[in-house]
Every structure is written in structure tokens, then in C-alpha cells.
Amino acid sequence: MAVPQKKFVSQFTMMGTVISLTLFEPRQTAIEAVYDYLEQMDRIFSVNRQDSELSAVNQAAGKKAVTVSPQCFELIHDALNYSRQHADSFNVLIGPLVKLWKIGFGGHQVPSAPAIQERLQLMNLDQVELNATQHSVFLKQAGMQLDLGAIAKGYFADQIVTQLQQAGITSAIVNLGGNVKLLGANPLTADERWQVGVQAPAAPRGYPGLQVEMPAKTVVTSGIFERYFEVNGHRYHHILDPQTGYPVENQLDQVTVVTDQSELAEVLSTVTYFKGPKAGAALIEELPGTEAIFIDRKQQVTVTSGLKPRRKGVFYIE
């Protein structure tokens, strides 16, 4: 096939991160449609906007059910299912804990134990009532808060790729602040495969420590190297344990998950971070078409069996 000489990269800031969309043909209308879609999602899901649908649900906690859009209902429904499936590490009701710690949002103090225990009491999944007929959500306890931050970008990436496909676009790179989803064949390489860099934990953003060659998949990383604070030499990062209320303690710097669905990859990157390289890799090995890369505090790399070494620092997936 003829290799095109151009790619068309659009970047804009939204939802507190940089959005990058790479196409291989000039399709301004499609780019504007993605921008409009993400603006709509921000109006629905932002916890930093008082007028968002998610804020309305949280503000009505303990008072009444709130009717939401189909998109909002769908993502909350998915997030609750994942929370039940992975209760030890993923809980969509972690909002009160996130706001208490404020890690990445100016927080520099360890909360008191009683304050943490108080927030943990607001994370009971049985206290959420969904009505599929009315598309309504009711948080039964005052003070409960949904936080979709650990899953939302994956949902958006999946929807954007579907949107691009419906517009007749056959190849694209969607990058939502480090959540990467690929569409179709890579028109710039002879073998039509993609090369995706995996962020090096100790380096500034944009410096890949590893590279993966693959067909069109999604790549999502959970790590502790960007959002944290230190007190008395101890680092407190933003991946909070829904069982204890404190940042999870282990020897991992980050986990990168490679699979087909970005929403699932977001969840798995958090869950496998909790599990660590051995148990995390065992979970991933059970899932078809899914791989993971674990990097520990000593920068030792562990990969699942489908990631084959090509040369130093480079792996490939069939």
C-alpha cells in the first residue's frame, strides 16, 4: 500500500488534561465532532462543575434520586459492576476519600484516622439505587459521592473511536492524557503495526522507558509518579485503598495494560496495581487479548506472556 506523507495532529486541553487526536487525512469536521463530544461529556461527568449531571447526583445524596442521561447512567452502571467485581481495589464511591486527601489538588497533609474512617462508611455499594427504566441514580446516604475518574477516560476513548469509525475514518490515534486508543492499521509503517511508548516512571512525561509494537489496541497506565506529596520522607500517592482509606502500599511504580477496550483497561490498570506483579500478571493471563507491563520501584520490568521481547526495551504483540 502507498505510505502517506502526512499525519494531522489536533491538540486541545479539556478535563484537566491534554487531548491529542491523530488522523491520516484532513477531516476537520470529524475533529470538531470529537471536541463537541468531549465538551458534552465534561458537562455530564465533571466533578469540578457544579452544574454537571454527576455533581447533581452527588449533591442529592441522602435526599432524592436524580434522572441522568443515558451516557451517565451507562457509565455509572458499568463502574458499579466493576466495583462489585473488584471490591478490594476499585470502588466508584471513593469520592469522599479523594476529596479528603486532595492529592494532586493541593493536598499536603495526612488526614486524621477518624476522618478517614468516616469517609469509608460512605462507600457501601449497596447504598446506590439505579432505576434502568427512569435512568435515575440515588445515593441513599448523605455525603456519598461517585467519582468516575478511574474509568471515565477509557469510556470516552472507546466512544470516540466508534464515532470516528462511523465517520468513515479507518486509522487514528486517540490520546486522552496518556490513555491511548488506536484505530485500524498504521498507514505510516510497512507492516501496518503501531509503536506505542510506555512512560518511564522516573522521567518527565513524554520520555518512554519501553516500547510496544502491536496491532490496534488500547494502552492505559496507572502509576504513582505524578500525583503525590511527601511528609517526613514518606510519599503519599493518589491511588487510594478503598479498604483502608490510605494510599496502597506496595513496591510498584506503575502498571500498563494493553487490551481491546479502553474502559476495561482503565479498571484493570488500577486492579493490577493493587495486586502487584505476581498476582496481577496471573489475573491478566486469564483474560484473552490482554497483556500488562509492571515496573517496580527498582525499575525492574515484569511482562505477561503475550509480550515478546524484540530487542532491549522493545516488546511486540502478535
Q: Are 38 and 20 in contact (CB under 8 A)?
A: no
Q: Does the annotation list 279 as a binding residue?
A: no
Report the candidate in 67, 64, 48 with the shortest Cα–Cα distance to residue 144: 64
d(CA 201, CA 207): 9
What gap in Å lies between CA 139 and CA 113, rounded to an integer?
24
Beta strands in the chain (DSSP E): 8-14, 17-23, 66-67, 128-131, 136-139, 172-176, 179-183, 194-199, 208-214, 218-223, 228-231, 234-237, 252-259, 291-296, 301-303, 308-311, 314-316
Is 162 annotated among the ligand-binding residues?
A: no
Whether the Cβ atoms of residue 175 and residue 20 lie closer than 8 Å to each other: yes
How many CB atoms are located within 10 Å of the residue 25 CB?
15
* Planar angle of CA 145, 148, 152, nearest 5 degrees: 165
Strand-by-strand arrangement of the 194-199 sheet: 194-199, 208-214, 314-316, 308-311
CA distance linking residue 59 with residue 61, whole number of Å? 6
Q: Annotated binding residues, as ranges?
A: 150, 270
> Which residues contribute to the annotated binding site for Mg(2+)?
150, 270
